[in-house]
Structure 1
Amino acid sequence: MDYTFSIKGVTDIVCGARCTSTPYCKSFHYDLNTCYILNYPGIGSVNITSFYGSENWTDSCSVDGYPLYGGRFCMKMFKTNKIWSKANKTCNQDGAKLLIMKSEDFFLKKEVIDQHGGGHHYWIGGNDLEKEGDWIWNDGSPLQSNQWEAGNPSNLYDAEHCLEFGPLRFNDQQCFKPVFFICEKLKY
């Protein structure tokens, strides 16, 4: 396998975080506690765009109806269109929250979505409802990401305050648009 560099003795989450902090890294390979940061575009001949882990991604989870992914979080994709506030309420009533995709786990969660429901737009747990331009996750932490679609967040018509994901990156969207959604519960 061609790669730019590798790091031994790290977790898959650390590997993903290293990729997101490496300029132009679009993918990485993780196997047997070794992280391979793949070639920058145009260098070498390997073009791998998926996350490969040694863990079983579809283990059972201690949370009913929420499959375990990556060994640490449980996600449930709802293929029912709801506005953002109703999607958020559904997750909360289920003891969950809308999915949070921070940089350290972005690629792992993106791969799960791609494998189990790709090609759709989903509400996830970010918004700038309190103050325009101050994007936060539902846990109150700032949304700091370079995973926005080009030209976003755009706040088109001064009305896009909720975060959707799909099919590849983040997009700010009108909160009253009915969209599929993803809830998440932590395993621990």
Structure 2
Amino acid sequence: MIFHFLRGQITNMDIYWHDMCVIVLILVFGMALSELSAKWEQRVYNDGEIFKVIQPSGYISCWKACKLSVDCADITFNKDLLYCGLIRKSPAVSPPIDLTTQLGPCNSHSCNVNERCVALSGGTAVCINAVVCEGKYYQNRCFFVGSAKASWYVGQEQCKASGGSLVTVDSSDVISLLSTMTSEGVYWAGGNDIETEGEWKWIENDQTITTNSWWNTGAPDVNSPGKNCLGVVTASGVWHDVDCSLPAVYICQKYITQ
């Protein structure tokens, strides 16, 4: 009897201490979350009062609304809630810090108003415009990814319907920028030799593609006449001649006058 009684008491004490530990952990975790939340709210609201809320709203639409308002200095945006808050200009405080511009090559790369810095491979960086471009803007071109995988032909038709064409990959900076736009292994670009076998041209302007170091070893393969379209390996930027009918993600471009 005594043994069973003591065992019951020990068991109850174990449960008690277990419950107490759980309560303490919850309180500590809750305080940490509260502190983080307070710091986030301070970062947002102390940079200037949110004077207008738009919900639902897309990120680009939010920036456009800010640009059209003379009182707007910046935005706060939640993609999960589609929440857009316009932050009023405040001469008493500095504008909010965009951490993406403080890291790596963006640390010493200045961009204009309404532009964001994108770090590229090789330690370089470029500025992109997030206001007038529904993708990434660079040197008068807006690059955007197609809605779904498709053949090269369908990709080009979809790009054309959007007022552009499959992308022209004409510099190392463009290759690096495009590598940040999709996680797929390969994407369609506008190069092709559909009209004349062996004569590769850009679909955008019909200009000839000269021999360059971006082609994979042995490519383009003159002994494979069925591979008439340009596929680019996303991670490395290496070019391959590919069967145009295969499905792949495609990247479009259209020219924008700022």
Distance in 2, matches of 1:171 and 1:95, equals 26
Q: Is the 8 A contact 2:151 2:247 kept in 1?
A: yes
User: What does 1:11-160 correspond to in 2, within 5 Å?
Assistant: 49-50=121-122, 52-53=124-125, 55-57=126-128, 59-63=129-133, 65-69=134-138, 71-78=139-146, 80-102=148-170, 106-118=171-183, 120-138=185-203, 139-146=205-212, 147-155=214-222, 157-160=224-227
Q: Report the CA distance shift for 1:175/1:161 in structure 2 as closer, same or farther (over 3 A).
A: same
Secondary structure class of the residue paired with 1:158: coil
More helix by share: 2
What is the letter of the counterpart of residue 130 of structure 2?
A: S
TM-score, normalization by structure 2: 0.48
**C-alpha root-mean-square deviation of aligned residues, in Å?**
2.6
- Cα 1:51/1:187, change in 2 over 3 Å: farther
**Structure 2 residue matching 1:178: 3-state secondary structure:** coil
Q: Secondary structure at the match of 1:115?
A: coil
- Counterpart residue identity of residue 135, structure 1: W
Aligned length: 139
CA contact (8 A) 2:193 2:200 kept: yes
Q: Using a 3 Å threshold, how does the CA distance of structure 1 residues 113 and 94 change in structure 2: closer, same or farther? A: same
Residue type at the aligned position of 1:143: I
Q: Cα 1:159–1:112, aligned 2, differ >3 Å: closer, same or farther?
A: same
Tell me if structure 1 keeps the 8 A contact 2:164–2:253.
yes
- What is the alpha-carbon distance in structure 1 between the residues aligned to residue 230 and residue 143 of structure 2? 17
Structure 2 unaligned runs (5+)?
A: 1-104, 110-119
- Aligned-pair distance for 1:73? 1.6
Cα distance in 1 for residues equivalent to 2:218 and 2:147: 27
CA distance in 2, matches of 1:156, 1:129: 15
Quote the Cα distance in structure 2 between the aligned partners of 1:155 and 1:79.
32
Greater relative CO (CA pairs within 8 A, separation 6+): 1
For 1:151, give the aligned amino acid.
Answer: G
Answer whether contact 1:126 1:162 (CA < 8 A) is retained: yes
Counterpart position of 1:170: 239
Equivalent-residue separation in structure 2 for 1:156 and 1:94 (angstroms): 35
Partner of 2:189: helix, strand, or coil?
strand
Give the C-alpha shift of residue 113 in structure 1.
Answer: 1.9
Gaps of 5+ in 1: 1-28, 33-47
- Percent of paired sites with the same residue: 21
Deviation at 1:51, TM superposition (A): 5.0
